[in-house]
Amino acid sequence: MKRLVAAIRRMSPIGTLMIVLGCGALYSWGLVARGLPDLANPVGQLAAMYDSVLPEITFRDGKPSIREKQPYFVDAFGLKNFTLVVDTREIRLAALLNDLNKVKNGVVLARETIVLKIGTQTRIIPLHPLVRIPDLVLNSSTIRQFLQKRFSQATKYLEVLIVMYGLAVELLQILILGFVFYYASRLGSALLTYGESFRVASVTMILFMLLNFFINVILNRFI
């Protein structure tokens, strides 16, 4: 034990730095392995909500259409005094306004316009100048593919942030543990400088991180 402590006290600054970086890498790897899969689950659940609330909408030449009977009234996520209607038939504007005749607030997605009603005011927004919509089928499957693609792109940035966070957390923990060893050595006969205490703390932390990594990352794959 005395030889181990002596070896740690003689450890070079580069060796200490490598151990600190190793602690941060192990901590970050654990966060990525456990955290990112948990973030992916809500993405799939969010996409699955579409089919349970909205109809499948097909856009061709910028014009939406649905196969359900129209006008199609959507349960607007439980919002009171608000109605969402999909009505893509080739009908006149008066018929679209009639879809909102009995509601206080609502929106109609029509073939070429969006009709917005708030209280007594009604606004008609042309759909094509508003946004250029490519030909697509809007349902849970296409939304899931879109979200997964964006999530995979965002994952790269999340991993960088997690690594930076892991390094900062581990450095702070080692600094605090170094103070603990520094003041604890004052209670015994072996007085340590803070630099020596920091080296002892870094070795202690890397052993703890290896054990934590083994339990949380490796064993979880087989249990």
Give the DSSP per-residue string, 192-207: --HHHHHHHHHHHHHH
Find where tokens 């740690």 sit. 8
Most confident of the following: 95-109, 172-186, 188-202: 172-186
Q: What local confidence, expressed as pLDDT, does residue 43 receive?
A: 64
Q: What local confidence, expressed as pLDDT, does residue 220 receive?
A: 59
Q: What local confidence, expressed as pLDDT, does residue 139 receive?
A: 81
Q: Is 119 left (phi over 0), alpha (psi -120 to 50) or beta?
A: left
pTM of the model: 0.51
| Mean pLDDT to the nearest integer, 9-19 | 76
Arithmetic mean of pLDDT over the chain: 77
| Mean pLDDT to the nearest integer, 180-196 | 80
User: For residues 26 and 34, is the Cβ–Cβ distance under 8 A?
Assistant: no
> Residue 133: pLDDT above 60?
yes
Using alpha carbons only, give the angle 191, 192, 198 rounded to the nearest 5 degrees.
Answer: 160
Please, which pLDDT band fits residue 77 given cuts at 50, 70 and 90? low
Please, which pLDDT band fits residue 29 given cuts at 50, 70 and 90? confident
Q: What distances in angstroms separate CA 199 from CA 13, 75, 176, 188, 204, one per listed residue?
A: 9, 62, 12, 18, 9
Q: Tell me the pairing of strands 121-126 and 113-118.
A: antiparallel
> Residue 50: which of 152, 138, 150 has the closest Cα?
138
Which residues make Cβ contacts (< 8 Å) with residue 191, sequence separation at least 6?
185
Tokens of 214: 């083994």
Q: Give percent above pLDDT 70 in the chain.
A: 78
- What are the pLDDT digits (tens) for 153-174? 777 777 788 888 888 888 888 8
> Residue 223: pLDDT above 60?
no
Judged by DSSP in three states, 55 sits in coil
Euclidean distance between CA atoms 48 and 144, whole angstroms: 8
Q: What local confidence, expressed as pLDDT, does residue 44 receive?
A: 67
User: For residues 86 and 74, is the Cβ–Cβ distance under 8 A?
Assistant: yes
Q: What local confidence, expressed as pLDDT, does residue 168 receive?
A: 86
Euclidean distance between CA atoms 87 and 180, whole angstroms: 69
Q: What distances in angstroms separate CA 140 from CA 51, 74, 113, 133, one per listed residue?
A: 6, 16, 24, 18
DSSP per-residue letters across 139-181: SHHHHHHHHHHHHHHHHHHHHHHHHHHHHHHHHHHHHHHHHHH
